[in-house]
A and B are shown apart, each in its own frame.
Chain A
Amino acid sequence: MIRRIPTLLLPLVAAAMLGSSPAGAQQTSATATAAPAAAPAAPSAAAVNRFNRLLKPAGQRNLPPPEDGIHDPTNEGTHALQPPRAAFDSMTSSNAGNRVNWVKSLESNAISPRWDRIDGTAAPVVMDLNIVREVKGSMPDVVYPHKQHTEWLDCSNCHPAIFIPQKGANQISMAAILLGQKCGVCHGKVAFPVSECRLCHSKKKDAPIARTGDQPAK
């Protein structure tokens, strides 16, 4: 009977020990071999050492506003906002940014964004001119298509403040782009991010030596 009393008091004792760890330390050392105790800690260890720790997990892309981490879920209006996936379902998907290809979605008329604030029939003046920029190093040359850009933007958005409209007048580096200058004013903020190297660096070099006579395509 005397042996049973401690058993009945066990929850109380456990609670007391949780509160006072020095008292529990002796007990732990006495029974260390009996309790492996590694199993309960396993889930958190797996979370710490999970793959792509710094990347956004696939299941957490395009979350609805109340779950997206910056909208306040206690705000009533947050729950009235459209979840991104509802809009993106009918659009062409991609591997970066919003996970939709905005240019292809526009080309395929999956979306028809207005060119004018009021007039839904206004259409852009599209300029079809590719600019080839030869790049140093081993990366393929950059082909800049005016066409896709003038579908969205006005000339004045880029010229002359961001890009001087003159051949050879603009010095562009990936460092500047990463810091949000030149192409990085949009690419890396709203337009497809710099992780999509090949979308710009798309023209294979003919020879390993830098060329001088190659003119931009008309």
Chain B
Amino acid sequence: MKHFPWAARIRRGLAALLFAVAALTLMAPSDSYAEYGDVVINNYSDAAGMRPVIFPHWFHRVRFRCKVCHADLGFQFKAGGNEITMLKIIDGQFCGACHNGEVAWTVENCDLCHSAKPGTPTQVHESTIQKLAIPVGQKAAAPAGQGGSK
């Protein structure tokens, strides 16, 4: 087999290519680039077979001051800390104070809120704790979210 040396060259080339592709695909999913302040709420969603909710803080901040939700509507300053359910929403509490067809679109648009990748834990995306280089934040964020689900 020694009389055609390029077989090895091609093989090594292909192996290097495969390695590069594998390395890139392994690296890609670990990064997520959602907006600062996006809140993922997964108290009950995964268990109910729905995608977790993503609340885009920035979008709401353009339209409302903090006070409207955090003082008038009673939202706590804690991701997953409000134990929001669809029943409360259709009764006009929390999101339902606006998402009622008058101020904003109605609850029939399930997938506009329930839009996170399945299994995404409750979190404030890009928060200081989450952005610490050491993954302490992820551990700290996950139990906080699960705590809210019970």
B71 partner residues in chain A, CB cutoff 8 A = 153-154, 156-157
Given A152-B65, A188-B128: A70 and B34 interface contact (C-beta under 8 Å) = yes
B103 touches A189 (CB 8 A): no
B8 touches A28 (CB 8 A): yes
Assembly CA distance A141 to B19 (angstroms): 52
The residues in A between 57 and 74 inclusive whose CB is less than 8 angstroms from any CB of B are 60-63, 65, 67-72
A61 touches B33 (CB 8 A): yes
Partner of B62, one of A10, A78, A87: A87
A80 touches B65 (CB 8 A): no
Partner of B66, one of A31, A69, A157: A157
Q: Is B120 an interface residue (CB 8 A)?
A: yes
Assembly CA distance A14 to B4 (angstroms): 11
A27 touches B127 (CB 8 A): no
A69 partner residues in chain B, CB cutoff 8 A = 31-34
B11 touches A24 (CB 8 A): yes
Assembly CA distance A193 to B36 (angstroms): 9
Assembly CA distance A147 to B37 (angstroms): 22
Partner of A71, one of B16, B34, B66: B34
Q: Is B47 an interface residue (CB 8 A)?
A: no
Most A CB atoms within 10 A — which of B12, B16, B131?
B12
B128 touches A193 (CB 8 A): yes
Minimum Cβ distance to chain A for residue B121 (Å):
10
Assembly CA distance A32 to B82 (angstroms): 63
Residues of A within 8 A of B (CB): 3, 6-7, 10, 13-14, 17-18, 24, 27-28, 30-31, 34-35, 37, 40-41, 43-44, 47-48, 54, 56, 60-63, 65, 67-72, 75-78, 80-82, 84, 87-88, 97-100, 102, 111, 113-118, 124, 151-154, 156-157, 177-180, 184-186, 188-190, 193-194
Given contacts A30-B8, A78-B111, 11 further A-B contacts (CB under 8 A): A6-B4, A35-B12, A47-B27, A56-B33, A67-B33, A70-B34, A71-B117, A100-B58, A152-B66, A180-B128, A190-B66
A to B CB contacts below 8 Å, 17 in the list = A10-B6, A17-B8, A27-B7, A27-B8, A54-B133, A56-B33, A68-B35, A72-B118, A77-B110, A113-B62, A113-B63, A113-B64, A116-B68, A154-B70, A180-B128, A186-B77, A193-B131
